[in-house]
Structure 1
Amino acid sequence: MKKALVMLATAVAMSGAFAQTSAPASAPMGASASAPAAKVGHERNVEDRIAYLHTQLKITPAQESQWNAFADVMRNNGQTMGQLFQQRKADTNLSAIDDMKQYATIAQAHADGMKKLVDAFDPLYSSFSPEQKKLADVTFHQGGPEGGHRHHGKGDGKKAPASE
């Protein structure tokens, strides 16, 4: 059960649309980055992914309004997940049941956010040329440098070996 929860948390944390930055490596154990600094880093990650996808998918001027709607959902989802992870980081004295409930809240927020993202992406994808659809299919299917579906579009095309 714990392995499943850890895997779920890892998948949610690694999600490209909802990437969460962590405290700087130089921070002492138990200390976290200031909320504004963490927010700036998190927002930069989301904006980097938006810019990457805009370029990768070759968004045309005619598609900008649909793109902007999709990008706004990415920003809102990122903000929601960032807040949940900041809360998780701050809650250091949880009981096992509270910890599980917190994972459930994060997982539900991720699922809700993905639904919103799909709803925003659908009209954009429908407006794509066949070439753009192929780019989107490959970009979103291959995931990130580690492969899989966790990075939602920030991939280099390499598949990672399967692991347990």
Structure 2
Amino acid sequence: MKKALVMLATAVSMSGAFAQTPAPAPAPASAASAPAGKAGHERNVEDRIAYLHAQLKITPAQETQWNAFADVMRGNGETMGQLFQQRKAATNVTALDDMKQYATIAQAHADGMKKLVDAFDPLYNSLSPEQKKLADATFHHSDTVDGGHRHRHGKGKVGKSTPASDAIVKP
């Protein structure tokens, strides 16, 4: 159970928002005034958003759809960050409590992914054929997705976090 949680937490913290690890971008002004852990998390979310914006070559005409997608990424990151902070702060939890916390996090992850897909649909439909190719290449993964990690069938080895689940934007 702990191993599964560590894997989920790692996936959450290593989110790349449908992308390979982007080059760091400057922290937003609001992140500079936040507590250290939160500032780092907010900066990571904003880095992923900036990376995807550049990677997909978002045009001014697509900004409305892009902003809706980016806002979902931010909201998902905030939700997951709060859940992991609560989990980290919990002490003397029973096995049942531990499982319930894990279930809550897993459900939030699934709910966040659904919101992200719903926000990405109109954005993807607004992309040019060239942009769709970029998105398809950026978001594509051939391995199965489980908790933000790639698992090779039959090998049991965990690899890098997958682009698809990373867009949930986790702490």
TM-score, L = length of structure 2: 0.70
Give the number of the structure with larger relative contact order, counting CA–CA contacts within 8 Å between residues 6 or more apart. 2
Counterpart of 2:11? 11
Counterpart of 2:162? 148
Structure 1, unaligned runs of 5 or more: 18-34, 154-164
CA positional deviation for 1:44:
0.5
Higher strand proportion (structure 1 or 2)? 2
Aligned pair count reads 136
Kept after mapping to 2: 8 A contact 1:57/1:135: yes
Q: Distance in 2 between matches of 1:92 and 1:82?
A: 18
What is the identity, as a one-letter code, of the residue corresponding to 2:85?
Q
Q: What are the Cα deviations for residues 76-125 of structure 1, in whole angstroms up to 9, with x where unaligned?
A: 11100010111111113211111111010001001001100100000000
Kept after mapping to 2: 8 A contact 1:9/1:103: no
TM-score, L = length of structure 1: 0.73
What is the identity, as a one-letter code, of the residue corresponding to 1:146?
K
Identity of aligned residues (%): 82
Q: Distance in 2 between matches of 1:127 and 1:72?
A: 17
Describe the SS at the equivalent of 2:35.
helix
CA positional deviation for 1:146:
2.7
Q: Distance in 2 between matches of 1:114 and 1:67?
A: 16
Moved over 6 A (4+): none
Structure 2, unaligned runs of 5 or more: 18-33, 142-147, 150-158
After superposition, residues 19-34 of structure 1 pair within 5 angstroms as none
Counterpart of 1:49? 48
Describe the SS at the equivalent of 1:146.
strand
